Chain A
């Protein structure tokens, strides 16, 4: 019993990631409003960013700056943070493009509700 609890609690960051990820996917597929879809997409992406960041965390680790002399300090892994900077930029690019597309769709179809768009598409 204890091991199960400690397993669960010890891995709580991953559980959070999984919950976020599923939430994102759900919003993405279930919502019919395009802007909400974009939000879902964002949540989905964020979950993976959280995953990287929490992975880098080491207990009692500090920022990886070598202060002279202190060679046996424990550092957090800096690499995932760097990677996620890139991923966040990519995410912003995607969101910007998605929102731009939503604006254009609104101009052309007069709505951002998926159902109404599909109805118009059906008519050609």
Chain B
């Protein structure tokens, strides 16, 4: 990296990360050819993944990167700010985008009219831009702008789903999502009104000195409502099950791992980085609202999953439940709890996108994800079914899988705060996970496949990325140095201690 060009690229990595997919999205539209567009999109996503890896390395070595867009210094200019936390989030988003998109071609071609596929790839890239921008933005208003970019692309992608109910699901998500986004905008406006700045670091410092309790409280509430809608915390997450069920299978795998996760990060960032733990927890006691909501989400989501007959929707309900875990970690307001939340963000992204890809494989061969259609999958698609079992075990949180790591930290965090009933509830809700995962496993292995069905495994181009994701969620259950290390570092950073 000593050449001038190398130096230039290195210096502008934070911007490249966001801009590259943004520029390539219209290119995808211009080429109007589905396979070329796919190649382009895959190349871009893998490049962003490489960039985010490089960024993570730089951040680990040298601390935070503050990148001034167009050379205007913060707090006046627009800042991209890469810290340990969002370097981690960037890595997840770009990594999942790359893997899912690599797997998605055959599945998309099966589910979506082929002449419109290039548009889907463009939307995919725009969505990635938005998500990466949300994570990287250093000022609050740009968080909102990127949030809307990613949301608009998401609505379009969901609407492309094969069933006509995809349209209504997308519309309902659009309405909810826009309300959420507008609430966030309103909250940011209130914050601007009392502090006169939009830069996140600046906001944090100025808020500490301000004594405008009511305005700040309203801002906090607005932001919490807005982000709760976007990250699908029950009862505001009602849009999620239908959107996930009717979106194209691979889009679901992508969204489940990224959109809600970035929204969670935005919530954590607003609560801890803008308002600060003192203000949010000591003065306004948001934990007394967030924690019950998180616990309700954990149980209600899992209970809904238990009674569901469609596996894709079952997984969507399970997402609602898992989001509850993350918010619980956030509401514990301790290093351990927050570490649990962040590490669960990572682990859940891996296993849920893996499981949704499994369903994409099943839908590709069988054309349905209803339990009744998936009878005897263990015989018809043995590798696919076995992958599901492995992912399911990880989601239950069996030891030596990624799911165990995050739950361990949540339980530990709850015990540290002397909230042992919460610890018990975390474990009890993972029992519900046992039930809904096992329900599916029973159908796969204990029911005979329909007479006419032969053995027809999904194509390797889909299976390999799926197995990669599930394999990763097992790997990160044993070798946790990397994930837990970064998560703990991030948690300290968010809580304002020395990194």
Q: Which residues of A contact B (CB under 8 A)?
A: 21, 25, 28, 34, 37, 41, 44-45, 48, 51-52, 55, 79-80, 83, 86-87, 90, 93-94, 97-98, 101-102, 104-105, 108-109, 117, 121
Give Cα A93–Cα B156 distance, bound, in whole angstroms: 11
Q: Would B164 and A108 count as touching, CB distance under 8 A?
A: yes
Main secondary structure of the interface of A (DSSP, over half): helix
Q: Would A34 and B178 count as touching, CB distance under 8 A?
A: no
**Whole-angstrom distance between the Cβ of B496 and the nearest chain A Cβ:** 27
B462 at the A interface (CB under 8 A)? no
Give Cα A55–Cα B194 distance, bound, in whole angstroms: 11
Given A48-B182, A48-B186, A51-B189, residue A102 in contact with residue B171 (CB < 8 A): yes
B193 at the A interface (CB under 8 A)? yes
Give Cα A110–Cα B171 distance, bound, in whole angstroms: 16
Give Cα A51–Cα B219 distance, bound, in whole angstroms: 13
Give Cα A87–Cα B179 distance, bound, in whole angstroms: 13
Q: Would A28 and B175 count as touching, CB distance under 8 A?
A: yes
| Given A41-B175, A44-B178, A104-B167, 9 additional A-B pairs, CB 8 A | A25-B179, A44-B179, A86-B145, A94-B148, A98-B175, A98-B178, A101-B155, A105-B168, A108-B167
B440 at the A interface (CB under 8 A)? no
Q: Which residue of A lies closest to B197 (CB)?
A: A79
CB-CB contacts below 8 Å: B171-193 with A: 171, 174-175, 178-179, 181-182, 185-186, 189, 192-193
Q: Which of A25, A90, A93, A117 has the most CB of B within 10 A?
A: A90
Q: Which residue of A lies closest to B196 (CB)?
A: A77
CB-CB contacts below 8 Å: B375-399 with A: none
Q: Would A101 and B152 count as touching, CB distance under 8 A?
A: no
Q: Would A121 and B182 count as touching, CB distance under 8 A?
A: no
Q: Which B residues are in CB contact (< 8 Å) with A83?
A: 141
The count of chain B contact residues (Cβ–Cβ below 8 Å) is: 26
B159 at the A interface (CB under 8 A)? yes
B10 at the A interface (CB under 8 A)? no
Q: Would A101 and B171 count as touching, CB distance under 8 A?
A: yes
Q: Would B170 and A37 count as touching, CB distance under 8 A?
A: no
Q: Mark B133-173, 1 if CB is under 8 A from A, else 0.
A: 00000000100110010001001100100001101101100
Q: Which B residues are in CB contact (< 8 Å) with A37?
A: 175
Q: Which A residues are in CB contact (< 8 Å) with B141?
A: 83, 86
Q: Which residue of A lies closest to B188 (CB)?
A: A83
11 contacts between A and B (CB under 8 A): A28-B175, A45-B178, A48-B186, A79-B198, A86-B145, A90-B145, A94-B174, A98-B175, A101-B171, A104-B159, A108-B164
Q: Which of A44, A52, A94 has the most CB of B within 10 A?
A: A94
Q: Which B residues are in CB contact (< 8 Å) with A28?
A: 175, 179
The 3 closest A-B pairs by CB, nearest first: A108-B164, A90-B148, A101-B171
Give Cα A34–Cα B192 distance, bound, in whole angstroms: 34
**Whole-angstrom distance between the Cβ of B79 and the nearest chain A Cβ:** 15
Q: Would B152 and A51 count as touching, CB distance under 8 A?
A: no
Q: Would A101 and B159 count as touching, CB distance under 8 A?
A: yes
Q: Which residues of B contact A (CB under 8 A)?
A: 141, 144-145, 148, 152, 155-156, 159, 164-165, 167-168, 170-171, 174-175, 178-179, 181-182, 185-186, 189, 192-193, 198
Q: Would A93 and B148 count as touching, CB distance under 8 A?
A: yes
**Whole-angstrom distance between the Cβ of A122 and the nearest chain B Cβ:** 11
Q: Which residue of B lies closest to A104 (CB)?
A: B167
Given A101-B167, A101-B170, residue A48 in contact with residue B179 (CB < 8 A): no
Q: Which of A28, A97, A102, A109 has the most CB of B within 10 A?
A: A97
Give Cα A113–Cα B398 distance, bound, in whole angstroms: 47
Q: Would B174 and A98 count as touching, CB distance under 8 A?
A: yes
Q: Which A residues are in CB contact (< 8 Å) with B165?
A: 121
Q: Would B182 and A109 count as touching, CB distance under 8 A?
A: no
Give Cα A44–Cα B141 distance, bound, in whole angstroms: 18
Give Cα A28–Cα B155 distance, bound, in whole angstroms: 18
Give Cα A108–Cα B167 distance, bound, in whole angstroms: 9
Q: Would B145 and A48 count as touching, CB distance under 8 A?
A: no
Give Cα A101–Cα B145 distance, bound, in whole angstroms: 22
Q: Which B residues are in CB contact (< 8 Å) with A101?
A: 155, 159, 167, 170-171, 174
Q: Which residue of A lies closest to B149 (CB)?
A: A90
Q: Which A residues are in CB contact (< 8 Å) with B159?
A: 101, 104
Give Cα A51–Cα B179 distance, bound, in whole angstroms: 16
Give Cα A101–Cα B116 distance, bound, in whole angstroms: 16
Q: Would B189 and A55 count as touching, CB distance under 8 A?
A: yes
Q: Would B171 and A105 count as touching, CB distance under 8 A?
A: yes
Q: Would A41 and B178 count as touching, CB distance under 8 A?
A: yes
Q: Which A residues are in CB contact (< 8 Å) with B186?
A: 21, 48, 51
Give Cα A52–Cα B192 distance, bound, in whole angstroms: 9
Q: Which B residues are in CB contact (< 8 Å) with A52?
A: 189
Q: Which B residues are in CB contact (< 8 Å) with A34?
A: 171
Q: Would A80 and B182 count as touching, CB distance under 8 A?
A: no
Q: Which B residues are in CB contact (< 8 Å) with A25?
A: 179
Q: Which B residues are in CB contact (< 8 Å) with A45?
A: 178, 182
Give Cα A94–Cα B178 distance, bound, in whole angstroms: 8
Q: Which residue of B lies closest to A52 (CB)?
A: B189
Q: Would A55 and B193 count as touching, CB distance under 8 A?
A: yes
**Whole-angstrom distance between the Cβ of A48 and the nearest chain B Cβ:** 5
Give Cα A97–Cα B181 distance, bound, in whole angstroms: 15
Q: Which A residues are in CB contact (< 8 Å) with B185?
A: 48, 87
